[in-house]
Amino acid sequence: MNRMHEIDYKIFGDDMQFVEIELDPMEAVVAEAGGMMYMDDGIEMETIFGDGSQQQSGFLGALMGAGKRLLVGESLFMTVFQNQAAGKKRAAFGAPYPGKIIPVNLSEIGGELLAQKDAFLCAAKGVSVGIAFTRRFGAGLFGGEGFILEKLQGDGLAFVHAGGTIMQRDLGPGEILKVDTGCIVAFQPSVDYDIQYVKKIKTAIFGGEGLFFATLRGPGRIWLQSLPFSRLAGRIFAAAPQRGGGGREEGSILGGLGRMLDGDNR
């Protein structure tokens, strides 16, 4: 079995990060279309179906692998950046919004990682980028972020992006952590993922946390983010000027309920 390309890297920045990857001759990295920031002369780009991993065999296998990506809202195509020069070359990939880039060596965590859609940034060529379904029907029906996750497999480096500040935590056997569904970035397959209903209806309706939350049960490693993109986008939309001019007042005593009753008739 061919191993993944063993790439070197360095992460720059604080809140708006990018990762610079150093490629030896003929080494390559695969990334989502549109993620490239810059690259040295001598690196060649190639658009491919799917991820170009060794697990896919022939055109039909590549086509099926790429087709699965449509289920998580991704493009059929990815881009391979290969160093075709004689010496070392570098390519960089930027984060799509404020947060952190998390390097994950798949060989150190059992060769597989489950991540929320849109979390994947880039990886050493040979890493398989597929899909996985949550084990529980409730997670799929009420999870908010969808029951289809990205599945990264291989023994090389993969880079995922998360919003805000990142927390990495190792859960012990049977240890449970309750999390807002949008705050989950990634976890090992050994972690059991499910969705639970908020039992107190007053808390669910007026508490601002929603009707459901996720439960993560160990053993396994998890990564959480403090600022999901959906939360960031919601705050920006709420603060933007509405029809008729003027933005929403941040200090409204009624908060979200006040915005529903402030006379903005459609």
Q: What is the pLDDT of residues 138-159, one digit of tens each?
A: 544 444 444 578 889 999 999 9
Sheet of 120-124: strands edge to edge? 43-49, 77-83, 28-32, 120-124, 157-163, 99-105
Q: Which tokens hold the place of 190? A: 């050994």
- Section 223-247 average pLDDT: 74
For residue 27, the model assigns a pLDDT of 94
Confidence check: pLDDT of 5 > 90: no
The answer to whether residue 197 is domain-embedded is: yes
For residue 135, the model assigns a pLDDT of 54
pLDDT category at 29 given cuts 50, 70, 90 is very high
Residues 6 or more apart from 80 whose CB is under 8 A from it? 28, 29, 30, 45, 46, 47, 48, 52, 125
258 vs 133, more confident: 133
Mean confidence (pLDDT) of the chain = 78
53 vs 70, more confident: 53
Give percent of the chain above pLDDT 70: 67
Instruction: Quickly count helices (H) and strands (E) in the chain.
Output: 5, 19
pLDDT category at 47 given cuts 50, 70, 90 is confident
For residue 69, the model assigns a pLDDT of 52
For residue 204, the model assigns a pLDDT of 47
The answer to whether residue 121 is domain-embedded is: yes
Cis, bond preceding 219 (omega within 30 deg of 0): yes
112 vs 97, more confident: 112
Write phi, then psi, for 20 (nearest 5 degrees).
-100, 125
Is the Cα dihedral 86, 102, 10, 106 positive or negative?
negative
- Section 47-74 average pLDDT: 54
CATH number, residue 17: 3.60.160.10
By CB neighbour count within 10 A (0-12 exposed, 13-18 middle, 19+ buried), where does 225 fall? buried
> Per the structure, how many domains does the chain have?
1
What is the four-CA torsion angle of 140, 183, 152, 15, rounded to 10 degrees?
150
Q: Which of the residue ranges 61-65, 70-74, 118-122, 228-232 has the most confident prediction, judged by mean pLDDT?
A: 118-122
Residues 6 or more apart from 60 whose CB is under 8 A from it? none
The answer to whether residue 246 is domain-embedded is: no
pTM as predicted: 0.76
pLDDT category at 169 given cuts 50, 70, 90 is very high
166 vs 55, more confident: 166
243 vs 113, more confident: 113
pLDDT category at 117 given cuts 50, 70, 90 is confident
pLDDT category at 20 given cuts 50, 70, 90 is very high
Confidence check: pLDDT of 208 > 70: no
Could you give the C-alpha distances from 192 to 5, 65, 112, 221, in angstroms and in order?
Answer: 31, 25, 14, 11
**C-beta of residue 186 within 8 angstroms of C-beta of residue 221:** no
The answer to whether residue 124 is domain-embedded is: yes
Domain coverage including residue 87: 8-231
The answer to whether residue 241 is domain-embedded is: no
The answer to whether residue 258 is domain-embedded is: no
pLDDT category at 217 given cuts 50, 70, 90 is very high
